[in-house]
Structure 1
Amino acid sequence: MATILITGASDGLGRALAEDLAPDGHRLLLHGRDPGRLAEVAAATGGEVFPADLSSLAATKRLAADIRARHRRLDVLVNNAGVGFQDGNTSREVSADGYELRLAVNYLAPVLLTRELLPLLREAAHARVVNVASVGQQLFDFDDPQHEHHFTQADAYCRSKLALISHTADLAEQLADSGITVNAIHPATFMATTMTKTSGMPVQESLDKGVAATRRLVDAADVAGVTGAYFHSHERTDPSEPDALSPAYRNRLAALTRRLLTAAGV
């Protein structure tokens, strides 16, 4: 029986993944922002709830501390929580730390949460980190890191998700001899979820497809030992922006990430 943390487990892909895993007897740690919806998922899956708002980096760090206080080992971390977009919307939002919201929730929060949970992941024999990314990808603008110019929610979303793919490659290299694997995935395109409905885009692929692709990275034997990869559903592939995996880009992104986390006091 594995101990599995799923962020964003109160709705959409996260909830469906939890419900798919529950019958196999895994110990599920369920994160969500809405305590009421999270309680519903816990009742359906037998999972343990960890409410937190990942738009606050301090709250993200407290979430990790709460998990460390209650558990000695973590076999799988699924960084699924995220903020989507509304097609054509140019309304820029900021996080509790004053950072552009999608940068904060979709990128900085999973980076910080993973860092803070590494002690538990190291206690597992063969731990896995699964970062839910997207086929929507855009290179980061280091001259405008807070995306204060020419902003659209869709662009901000794509920047945050490609940054997560770049970080995945970096972290996989750092943990190469640890037994911990780190991979990123685009589960399926515009699944039947609240996020897709909010975006205004039509549903293109089923939620079941996204769950199956994500679950494969959680516990399938055929990807054991695979690390630093990006998957488009079940297919291992390259991101649409090859420069995102270049040492120069990754180093600049890592330096910016450190500065932002330090400035937020975490």
Structure 2
Amino acid sequence: MRIAMVAFALSFLLAAPPGQAQVPDEPLSYTGKTALVTGSTDGLGRELALSLAADGAHVIVHGRNAERGQAVVDEITRSGKGSARFVAADFSSLQAVRQFADTIAGEYARLDLLVNNAGIAIRQAPRRSASEDGHELQFVVNYLAGWILANRLLPNLEAAAPSRVINVSSISAHAIDFDDVMLERPDAHHRGYGQSKLSQVMMTMELAPAFAARGVTMISVHPATLMDTTMVKGIGVPARTTVAEGRDHVMGLVTATALQPGAFYVDGRPAAPFDEQAGDSEARARLVELSAELTGVPGP
């Protein structure tokens, strides 16, 4: 890695005219563009929605609570920058996610940015938590919902190309046991959060080439470790970082002039996923097949 970095630095110095300082690339502007941020009535999602609106974007705010969603829209409206609309959906229901995706697809022909941020963490539950579909709840909300949105909204993202999908994941990772994906075996539920987050990373790696061929860059990102969010407070773990730190990391990627499709970003740079299963192409293909089967939404 050090050799590669030195080589890059030398190539730049040789290419630059003498006496000319490096001019950093201007960040992308979202003025006049449309962005969907899931889970944006609180925490990181809320801060991302406000930041995008401040840059002039029209933000589709999502959450379950209409009052909190409207509060975010009202704050953006009062700012006089950008615009926003709230659309409610309960991501614990796959049918609700599909209907939400169809609503967005039907009303927004072009979508410049999708941030799959909505998530839950269940840390101390005595047993497995299930969705209304009977699936493990974290796998549905944190992962399958993002699968549905990315694939159902791909035509809209392609219409706005070059566009982006940012999957908010985590360095928390547990390998998928394909014989017990829904964590029905004793004590398996403790793997739920890490499994859902690794699934996001694996999906990103597997789908990114097909998305890139259609002008859509997909990446996954670890925003910050244990931010001071409602979710982290709810699981009883001391916060280590702030929502503002996570926001800045994600917005740095949202507005970056170039990204590496399929990469998992940590601290603003591509990093190795935190479980070796992510590098198993057969496991990734198996996950993609399972995701399409469970959701009724095929991949690209």
Q: Provide TM-score, normalisation by structure 1.
A: 0.93
Find out whether 1:61 has 2:95 as its counterpart.
no
Residue equivalent to 1:77: 114
Residue equivalent to 2:41: 10
Q: By how many angstroms is 1:237 displaced?
A: 0.2
2:143, 2:126 → 1: CA distance? 20
Q: By how many angstroms is 1:90 displaced?
A: 2.9
Residue equivalent to 1:114: 150
User: What amino acid does structure 2 have at the position aligned with 1:144?
Assistant: D
2:235, 2:121 → 1: CA distance? 7
1:38, 1:198 → 2: CA distance? 20
1:255, 1:90 → 2: CA distance? 30
Residue equivalent to 1:138: 174
Higher alpha-carbon deviation: 16-25 or 132-141 = 16-25
RMSD value, Cα: 1.5
**What whole-Å deviation, never above 9, does each CA across 1:25-83 have from its counterpart, x for those lacking one?**
11111111111111111111231111001111111111111112221100000000011
Q: By how many angstroms is 1:91 displaced?
A: 2.8
Residue equivalent to 1:243: 277
Q: By how many angstroms is 1:262 displaced?
A: 3.3
Q: Percent identity?
A: 38
Contact conserved, 1:4 with 1:27, CA < 8 A, in 2? yes
User: What amino acid does structure 2 have at the position aligned with 1:243?
Assistant: Q
Per the alignment, in what secondary structure is the counterpart of residue 39 of structure 1? helix
Per the alignment, in what secondary structure is the counterpart of residue 212 of structure 2? coil
Residue equivalent to 1:26: 57
Map 1:128-207 to 2 at 5 A: 128-151=164-187, 154-207=190-243
Find out whether 1:252 has 2:286 as its counterpart.
yes
Residue equivalent to 2:261: 227
2:244, 2:188 → 1: CA distance? 29
Contact conserved, 1:77 with 1:128, CA < 8 A, in 2? yes
**Runs of 5+ in structure 1 lacking a partner?**
none
Which stretches of structure 1, 4 residues or more, deviate above 4 A after TM superposition? none
**What whole-Å deviation, never above 9, does each CA across 1:161-205 have from its counterpart, x for those lacking one?**
001100001110222321110000010011010011011110101
Contact conserved, 1:210 with 1:233, CA < 8 A, in 2? no
User: What amino acid does structure 2 have at the position aligned with 1:241?
Assistant: D
**What whole-Å deviation, never above 9, does each CA across 1:196-235 have from its counterpart, x for those lacking one?**
10111101011111001111222222xx242100011323
Residue equivalent to 2:68: 37
Higher alpha-carbon deviation: 56-65 or 157-166 = 56-65
User: What amino acid does structure 2 have at the position aligned with 1:84?
Assistant: A
Higher alpha-carbon deviation: 233-242 or 150-159 = 150-159
Q: By how many angstroms is 1:153 displaced?
A: 5.1
Find out whether 1:94 has 2:130 as its counterpart.
yes
Q: Provide TM-score, normalisation by structure 2.
A: 0.83
1:140, 1:66 → 2: CA distance? 32
User: What amino acid does structure 2 have at the position aligned with 1:52?
Assistant: A
**What whole-Å deviation, never above 9, does each CA across 1:84-138 have from its counterpart, x for those lacking one?**
123x333321112111101111111110111111111010131100000011101
Contact conserved, 1:90 with 1:152, CA < 8 A, in 2? no
1:13, 1:219 → 2: CA distance? 16
1:48 to 80, 85, 90: 85
Which of structures 1 and 2 has the larger relative contact order (alpha carbons within 8 angstroms, sep 6+)?
Answer: 1
Contact conserved, 2:161 with 2:214, CA < 8 A, in 1? no
User: What amino acid does structure 2 have at the position aligned with 1:45?
Assistant: I
* Number of corresponding residues: 260
Q: By how many angstroms is 1:17 displaced?
A: 1.1
User: What amino acid does structure 2 have at the position aligned with 1:82?
Assistant: G
Q: By how many angstroms is 1:152 displaced?
A: 5.7
